[in-house]
């Protein structure tokens, strides 16, 4: 069915199609439990405890699709193992001027420079407070554009206080390329106080939540090692790799077309190889001491399986959903189950890291 709808959706400006999709997700929320039962395979082989909740399967929704948390109820119907909303910032902000979302259809890729458009942490908390989701809900938090990096800790802490009570896990996002200076917070000297500050704010919650960190694919191996070591030192609960890339390799567009699109983060198929490399590198460094969630250019069950075998315990998807449609999460879970069975794995956890 999505094959019929997709050409029409792709005639619309990308952001208009996005808002339409989110509207449909919101309207479908009452039917979500029923749709979920139809789309999602029920198999104990894929179920695991992760980031303080039970993921019925390892296919998560990556941050950025449901920026404000209003569509999470409907999106849960698609059969995700978990849903991550955001990025949410302390202050409401409009994001960058439009247009700021572009499809490269032939390359199954997306470029975005949204710049954390969101209603702010208090409003987002209000939106998710009433959700009764059939899967864990993550809250991805970032720095407000108006806040200097020197004051970043307090900014993130404000989002923790507002959103923390209403989500199952939190994610520090320091890896989006569309907020000036944000990625500088990935430097260990800035990152360690930020993580510790966010942890202090989490400790103040009545019910403290697990904390993950999301990293960029554009880091060097040395940077990745330093971040993995820091994550272990700070006793984070997971690493999520990767966010979008500022690189433009893997696109079949001409240089002029690429320059015409302008700045932003690239996601989808061109990111597959790099995200896989980062997953493998981090998994080797972490040595199984910390859960790793792999994101970037995942579009079929073979790639999900490859990431699991390279040390990821779960994955997240975004861009492939735009190209393949809402049946994708359930299909990935079903096919992954088949691949695990074919290779004699009684449970997903038996396959994690077997290729390292
Ligand atoms: C339009 C768009 C908006 C995004 N917004 C966010 C965001 O707000 N926060 C974040 O952590 N990641 C964001 N991402 C990155 C995704 O969560 C994901 O890390 C990245 O797209 C790679 O996965 P994919 O290739 O499956 O899309 C965004 C991605 C896209 C395509």
Taking only the tens place, the pLDDT of each residue in 284-305 is: 999 999 999 999 999 999 999 9
Higher per-residue pLDDT: 333 or 131: 333
| pLDDT at residue 42 in the model | 83
CA distance 209 to 67: 20
Q: What pLDDT, on a 0 to 100 scale, did the predictor assign at position 142?
A: 98
The residues near 232 (Cβ < 8 Å, ≥ 6 apart) are: 286, 289, 290
Structure token digits, residue 201? 């704010």
**pLDDT > 90? residue 131:** no
pLDDT of residue 40: 86
| 118 HSE (CA, 13 A, CB side) | 34
CB atoms closer than 10 angstroms to residue 182? 22
From CA 48, how far away is CA 275, in angstroms rounded?
Answer: 23
Whole-angstrom distance, CA of residue 344 vs CA of residue 80: 24
Whole-model pTM? 0.98
- Whether omega before 353 lies within 30 degrees of 0, making that bond cis, reads no
pLDDT band at 74 (very low <50, low <70, confident <90, very high): very high
Q: Give the residue, by CA position, lying nearest to ligand 1 atom 22.
A: 296
Q: Tell me, what's the pLDDT at 64? A: 98
Mutate-to-test residue for ligand 1 from 267, 303, 314, highest number of ligand atoms within 8 A of CB: 267
DSSP E strand stretches across 113-233: 137-141, 169-173, 211-215
Could you say which of 127, 144, 176, 294 is catalytic?
176
Structure confidence at residue 241 as a pLDDT band (50, 70, 90): very high
Does the structure show a pLDDT above 90 at 41? no
Q: Which residues line ligand 1 (CB under 6 A)?
A: 62-64, 86-87, 101, 110, 112, 114, 116, 140, 173, 176, 214, 243-244, 267-268, 271, 295-298, 317-320
Q: Return d(Cα 119, Cα 124) in angstroms, integer.
A: 6
User: Cα separations (Å) of 6 from 3, 99, 322, 323?
Assistant: 5, 20, 9, 8
Distance CA 138, CA 87 (A): 10
**Active-site annotation holds for 176:** yes
Q: How confident is the model at residue 59 (pLDDT cuts 50, 70, 90)?
A: very high
Q: Which CATH number fits domain 2-351: 3.20.20.70, 3.40.640.10, 1.10.10.10, 3.50.50.60?
A: 3.20.20.70
CA-nearest of 31, 133, 125 to 80 is 133
């Amino acid at each position: 069915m999505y094959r019929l709808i997709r050409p029409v959706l792709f005639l619309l400006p990308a952001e208009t199609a996005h808002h339409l999709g989110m509207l449909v997700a919101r309207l479908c929320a009452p039917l979500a439990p029923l749709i979920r039962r139809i789309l999602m395979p029920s198999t104990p082989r894929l179920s695991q405890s992760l980031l303080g909740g039970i993921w019925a399967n390892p296919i998560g929704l990556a941050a950025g699709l449901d920026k404000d948390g209003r569509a999470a109820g409907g999106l849960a119907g698609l059969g995700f193992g978990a849903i991550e909303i955001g990025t949410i910032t302390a202050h409401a902000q409009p994001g960058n001027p439009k247009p700021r979302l572009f499809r490269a259809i032939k390359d199954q890729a997306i470029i975005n420079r949204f710049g954390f458009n969101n209603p702010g942490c208090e409003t987002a908390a209000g939106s998710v407070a009433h959700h009764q989701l059939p899967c864990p809900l993550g809250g991805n938090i970032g720095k407000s554009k108006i806040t200097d990096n020197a004051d970043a800790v307090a900014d993130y802490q404000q989002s923790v206080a507002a959103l923390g009570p209403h989500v199952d896990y939190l994610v520090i996002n320091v890896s989006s390329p569309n907020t000036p200076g944000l990625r500088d917070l990935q430097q260990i000297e800035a990152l360690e106080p930020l993580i510790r500050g966010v942890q202090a704010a989490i400790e103040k919650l009545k019910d403290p939540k697990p904390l993950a960190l999301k990293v960029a694919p554009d880091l060097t191996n040395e940077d990745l090692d330093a971040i993995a070591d820091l994550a272990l030192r700070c006793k984070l609960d997971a690493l999520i790799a990767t966010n979008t890339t500022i690189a433009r390799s893997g696109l079949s567009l001409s240089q002029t077309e690429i320059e015409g699109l302008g700045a932003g983060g690239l996601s989808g198929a061109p990111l597959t190889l790099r995200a896989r490399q980062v997953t493998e590198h981090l998994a080797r460094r972490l040595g199984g001491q910390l859960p790793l969630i792999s994101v970037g250019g995942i579009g079929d069950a073979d790639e999900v399986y490859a990431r699991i075998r390279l040390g990821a315990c779960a994955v997240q998807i975004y861009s492939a959903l735009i190209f393949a449609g809402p049946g994708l999460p359930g299909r990935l879970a079903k096919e992954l189950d088949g691949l695990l069975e074919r290779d004699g794995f009684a449970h997903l956890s038996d396959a994690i890291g077997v290729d390292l």
